[in-house]
Structure 1
Amino acid sequence: MATPYPSSLNSTGKKKSPIKFLLVVILLLIAAGAYVVGSGDFLDSFKKLGGKSFDTSKPLKIVAATELTDMEPFVHQASADLGFDIEMEYDSGTLVNTRNLNDGAYRDKYDATWFATNAFAKAQGIKSQGEDHSIARSPVALGLKQDVVDRLGWRNKDIRWADIADAAARGDLTFGMTDPQESNSGFLALLSVAAEFSDFTPGQAFDSSKVSMDERRMEDFFSGQTITSGSSGWLRDTFVKNPGKADGIFNYQAVLQSMKESDNVDIEVFVPGNAAGAADYPISALRNPGDQKADEDAQAKVEALADWFREHSVEVGEKTHLNVWGEDAENKGIQRYYEYPKSEDQLVSLVSLYRDQLRRPADSNFLLDTSGSMRGNRLADLKNILNKLIDGTAGESNNPKGFTRRETITLMPFSSKVADGYTQENYDPDNAQQKQDLRGYVNGLQPRGETAIYDAVLRAYDRAGEGGTLNSIVLMTDGESNSGTSRQDFITKMTHKMAETNHKIPVFVILYGEASEEEMNFLANFTGGKVFNARGGDLAKAFEEIRSYQ
């Protein structure tokens, strides 16, 4: 008769060792415990006890890309499951975060990074990040208004990059995208177009020096761009609030799906072609060679968090629209992705081609307050930053800013009245005479009179370029309007002008000195622009940031 307990004899009839018998019992108890609590909890306990351990008394501090705020609920859930606190901070977008990482801004402040990609850090030779733990993929996609989808006949069709280029070249499609020099989603759109209109073969890093690109077709594509932006948030808001500005916008597929389903933005989302550039969202521990214990602790926590996301891939994917990697991700027929260039030179080369040749040229109007209050250091600072923009030396050494090739630059000083100003068409950074003429005008600016802000904006609207250029107005003032047109008359006149053009030219306002914050916010909101606060004295930084919106 079978006994209810394990026999103490083996199949040969020899008596089992008591120690071996005890080990068998312990293993059976562990297996039973694992069955009761579930494989996920058992795996977590194993990591804490039998695998790489971590200090649960210290939080894992992560600096992340701004679009990852949607991950907050899952990060909280992971923190509870894993047994240690996780603190997320969203400094900026991926490219800005990468530059901050390179400058050492995150040293001793964070334990890990979570950007859209680490490709830019690797291309720049940044060594402070540990192993990449890719969490998900999100390709760049086009969010298109529903009526435009029907007008183009694209309903329920697979749209390729060539279809977008054809429609843009005919004048049937316009779109907005972020600046590839400042935003990863904009760079991915550029990378996808460059790879599509070349003899590049997916599966390797894109290298423009080793492929033949059809620049004419790329120009066809970017002829449809009517909005550029330094941030995805402003691009989205402009697209929604100013519907005459563009038919669609490029962003990550997950972001566009969230806009459509969570924010009720009436768009259809297309991932063009059978290949596209994509963010892969790697979590990486920051190396801390001076403290081996802290270094190992951060790596262990990052690995545990990455494993948690893989184990919950279905749930996370359904709620965030990200293609989260699970164990069988490679077998799901996931779309092919274009790989980032490997060197910084290749990144810069591609962005330069876009700015200098592919995209629409900029028509940039600078309204410069030269009233009496600008006398002294304020006017000197203004002249200094304008001269740096002329020379192309504004900004950080690893992210220089300046006036761009083919740009139309209008400098329009104003005080009690608006000056005729100076316009340089088709700017060429290599043309010494153009630079000399611009410098001469800037250095000759003199302060006098009061501040006719509304007259200046009206004059800029009168001269801003028509179609075919990316139009913008930059207003720099240290006061409030105390001369010329009143606000009410301004609203009446501007409403008429906007109706004539069917869209707004954004006014990017630099808040400086004693400028009225209420008045500057009104101007930016009324024209679909944005306020840049330079009251801390950093006038140069405000001008540099605005470059991505022009």
Structure 2
Amino acid sequence: MSAGRHRNRTNIHVASVAAAVGVLVVTAGGYFGYRQLAAPRCSGSVELAVAVATELAPAVDSAATEWENAGAAVGGTCVEVSVTASEPVGIAATVAAKHGAILPGVGQVSGAAVGPDVWVPDSSAWLLRLKGGGASEFNPGNGASIARSPVVVGVPEPIASQLGWPEQEFTWSALVGQVNNDEPLKAGTVNPTQDAAGLSGLLALSAAAAAGEGGQAATVGALRALSTSSADRRQELLAKFPTSSDPTTMARSLGAAALSEEDLLSYNARNPAVPLAALYPTPAATPLDYPYAVLPGVGSAKAAAARMLFDVLTTASFKDRLASLSLRGPDGTWGAGFSVPEGAPSPAADGASATGDLDLLAVERAVSSWSIATQSGRMLCVIDVSGSMREPVASANGMSRQQVTLDAAGRGLHLFDDSWQIGLWEFSTNLGNGRDYRRLVEIGPLSSQRSELEAALTQIRPTRGDTGLFDTVLAAYEAVQEDWDQGQVNSIVLFTDGKNDDDNGISQQQLVAELERIKDPERPVQVVLIGIGADVSKAELESITKVTGGGSFITEDPTKIGDIFLNAIALRETGS
């Protein structure tokens, strides 16, 4: 993260300001004198901290400086704007920490989280993810777009020419075919959990794959293909493109990646040995829309200053500032000096509004699927087979709770690659040998027992027993801890539709005390509990995960457990 205040510009270059009475260069020492000349009636200061996506920050900074020097004031109080060039993922982590949200792949901030007054990330997807991640009180003001950059597929020009660029029209479905064929186009992405352009490309590619032949298999194939050439930062991904046009280098290098149009134009502006062509596949991917978000709790004076700054950033002249940075105006049109990529559609045809295209469920599925497909882990899956799991689910065409649960587990299993180690248990009460659980498949590598797990899932049936939850949780914890693997995230995922109901088992107090006794910080086991239906006790589940780590998730609609399962796996803490 790099910061630049208007009176100490170390990271953001701003042109000198011409005064109406002549040319006057505003220096650090002369700022306040000039302020008095420009606005003699303003006194004191309202300090507005603005965090802006790095590529947009110079335009915001220079416009804010010009506004200040012209006498920016709120109710007679001078306005001072501090602009910080910030990677959106860093601010998202800070806001998430402040509002109690959890975002897969974003990570945690260290120390106290101090957010800005105004945040301009590169995409509304960040605001949507924060709300979906549990920041229920996060209601930023405004949120209107101040800039735009379509998401394109960057392809080295020699390869793009072979694909028919610039005359050929491209589709995301065709790209899925290129990625998944026998001689695949080597595609990559910036980690979509941390990058909005990567997320937009993943959403478009996943939608095309799911709608085509193969459905989930095509989607998983595309995820795996992208993950082989992924990067955590844009510059790392851009460095994977060919540095020479010789056949060997071209074959070894990255052949396609979703980028913002601004990223691609900035890359080509450095005159690389192999420029990138911008492909605009249909339907258009969700563009970066740079929302102007006034964060909650800023106070009335700062809120008023923020509204005034927004007006400054939506003038016709600001569009020209954007153009110099290879960015478009919020309506998709461009200002003077914009370098239009060859093959770019007209501004009216570059897709619908960004916010209108974003769907929280689709975003959460894409992020979770990516996290699972690109991580590995060691997991014991435990499924409730008590009698109540026979109950039909009205919203699932009469399927039982058991069938809906098994369907979710089976679909999730397809996302895990062969590096995962998975085991399977079922539980109720009195399932033999005095136990409430039955071991169906011991934890082992999917590379050798995927078919065994799939077969075991199809054989699971509800019993007439009750819910031996506490005994089962303790036994599962001990089993995972016993063969704990240092190189993996070791976890338990348990599905249940009821409270503990076992008169012959241990009590809640005994379970918690025993988990406290045996847990080992050197060998952590995360427990994820997924409650189905209205009979589940949230307090009962949380008493367990408070000790073990992990989390509890409850839904009264069993049809939602598939998405909850994906989110729960994606939220596991890595590096344990």
Query: So what's the TM-score if we normalise by structure 1?
Result: 0.50
Residue 64 in structure 1 maps to residue 52 in structure 2: yes
Q: How far does residue 336 in structure 1 lie from its aligned partner after superposition?
A: 1.4
Change (3 A) 1:126 1:146: farther
User: Per-residue deviation at 1:179?
Assistant: 2.6
- Name the CA shift for 1:342/1:173 in 2 (closer, same or farther; >3 Å): closer
Of 165, 177, 189, 1:177 maps to 189
Equivalent pair of 1:178/1:229 in contact (CA under 8 Å): yes
Q: How much has 1:70 moved relative to structure 2? A: 5.1
Q: CA-to-partner distance for each residue in 1:379-421, whole Å, 9 max, x for gaps? A: xxxxxxx8xx7589xxxxxxxxx9994234499xxxxxxxxxx
Contact preservation (8 Å) 2:176, 2:205: no
For residues 325 and 193 of structure 2, what CA distance do their matches in structure 1 show? 26
2:204·2:285 contact (CA, 8 Å) conserved in 1? yes
Name the CA distance, whole Å, in 1 between partners of 2:146 and 2:157.
31
Match of 1:347 in 2: 363
Q: How far apart, in 1, do the equivalents of 2:125 and 2:137 lie?
A: 10
Matched, 1:424 2:426: no
- The answer for the alignment partner of 1:146 in structure 2 is 157
Contact 1:253–1:271 under 8 Å retained in 2: no
Secondary structure of the residue that 1:137 maps to in structure 2? Answer: coil
Q: 1:362 & 1:332 partners in 2: Cα distance?
A: 36
Shift of 1:73: 5.2
- The amino acid across from 1:136 in the alignment is A
For the pair 1:262 / 2:264, whether they are aligned, the reply is no
C-alpha change, 1:297 and 1:405, in structure 2 (3 Å) is: same
Q: Superposition pairs for residues 428-507 of structure 1, below 5 Å?
A: 439-442=481-484
Distance 1:196 1:444 in 2: 38
1:84-483 matched pairs, under 5 angstroms: 85-94=80-89, 96-104=90-98, 109-122=115-128, 123-124=131-132, 125-170=136-181, 171-196=183-208, 214-219=215-220, 221-222=222-223, 224-225=225-226, 226-239=228-241, 244-262=252-270, 264=272, 266-288=275-297, 291-301=299-309, 303-308=310-315, 310-317=316-323, 319-325=324-330, 332-337=347-352, 339=355, 344-354=360-370, 362=374, 390=379, 405-409=415-419, 424-426=445-447, 439-442=481-484
Kindly tell me: are residues 74 and 351 of structure 1, through their superposed partners in 2, closer, same or farther at Cα, counting changes over 3 Å?
Answer: closer
| Aligned Cα root-mean-square deviation (Å) | 4.8
Q: Deviations over 1:147-186 (max 9, x none)?
A: 3223434453222212212222322411111232232222
Distance in 2, matches of 1:240 and 1:87, equals 39
Distance 1:404 1:99 in 2: 30
- What is the Cα deviation at residue 102 of structure 1? 2.8
1: CA distance, partners of 2:286 / 2:97? 27
Q: What amino acid maps onto 1:283 in structure 2?
A: Y
- 3-state secondary structure, aligned to 1:63: strand
Aligned pairs for 1:491-530 within 5 A: none
Indicate the residue corresponding to 1:514 in structure 2.
none
Partner of 2:395: none
Query: Cα gap change, 1:546/1:160 in structure 2, threshold over 3 Å: closer, same or farther?
Result: farther
The structural deviation recorded for 1:92 is 3.0
Measure how far apart 1:545 and its partner are: 7.1
- In structure 2, relative to structure 1, the CA distance for the partners of 1:304 and 1:152 (3 Å cut) is closer
Matches of 1:162 and 1:222, distance apart in 2: 14
Shift in alpha-carbon separation, 1:113–1:234, aligned structure 2, 3 A: same
Q: Distance in 2 between matches of 1:191 and 1:135?
A: 23
- What is the alpha-carbon distance in structure 1 between the residues aligned to residue 574 and residue 87 of structure 2? 13
Superimposed CA distance per residue, residues 121-160 of structure 1 (whole angstroms, 9 cap, x where no aligned partner)? 2443453421123112212211111232234344532222
Closer, same or farther in 2 for the Cα pair 1:158/1:436, shift >3 Å?
Answer: farther
Identify if the C-alpha distance between structure 1 residues 163 and 60 changes in structure 2 by more than 3 Å, giving closer, same or farther.
same
**For residues 94 and 414 of structure 2, what CA distance do their matches in structure 1 show?**
24
Deviation at 1:423, TM superposition (A): 8.1
Answer whether contact 2:146 2:290 (CA < 8 A) is retained: yes
- Write the letter of the residue equivalent to 2:92: T
Asked if the contact 1:139/1:279 (under 8 Å) is kept, the reply is yes
Q: Which runs of 5+ in 1 are unaligned?
A: 1-34, 38-44, 200-210, 365-385, 393-401, 412-421, 446-542
Seen in structure 2, the aligned counterparts of structure 1 residues 142 and 344 have a Cα distance that, compared at 3 Å, is closer
Q: 1:280 deviation in Å?
A: 0.3
Which of the pair is proportionally richer in helix? 1
**Residue 258 of structure 1: CA displacement?**
1.0
Matched, 1:76 2:62: yes
Counterparts in 2 of 1:439 and 1:270: CA distance versus 1, 3 Å: farther
Letter in 1 for 2:96: N
Cα deviation, 1:256-278, whole Å, max 9, x if unaligned, reads 12111235352111121242211
Query: 2:214 and 2:125 mapped to 1: Cα distance?
Result: 22
Deviation string, structure 1 residues 493-549 (Cα, Å, up to 9, x no partner)? xxxxxxxxxxxxxxxxxxxxxxxxxxxxxxxxxxxxxxxxxxxxxxxxxx96789xx
Amino acid in the other structure paired with 2:297: N
Structure number with bigger Rg: 1
Contact 1:173–1:224, Cα closer than 8 Å, also in 2: no
Cα distance in 1, alignment partners of residues 118 and 241 from structure 2: 34
The one-letter amino acid paired with 2:88 is G
Q: Which has the higher contact order (CA 8 A, sep 6+)?
A: 1
Q: How many corresponding residue pairs? A: 340
- Distance, in Å, in 2 between the alignment partners of 1:238 and 1:546 is 26
Whether the 8 Å contact between 2:170 and 2:279 is mirrored in structure 1 is yes
Question: CA offset at residue 313 of structure 1?
Answer: 0.9
Deviation at 1:434, TM superposition (A): 11
TM-score (norm 2): 0.48
Provide the secondary structure at the position in 2 that maps to 1:287.
Answer: coil
How far does residue 349 in structure 1 lie from its aligned partner after superposition? 2.5
CA distance 1:245–1:155, change in 2 (3 Å): same
Render the CA deviation track for 1:480-505: whole Å, top value 9, x for unaligned: xxxxxxxxxxxxxxxxxxxxxxxxxx
Distance 1:305 1:287, change over 3 A: farther
CA shift digits 1:425-448 (9 cap, x unpaired):
459899999998875443699xxx
Residues 326/442 of structure 1: CA separation in 2 closer, same or farther (3 Å cut): closer
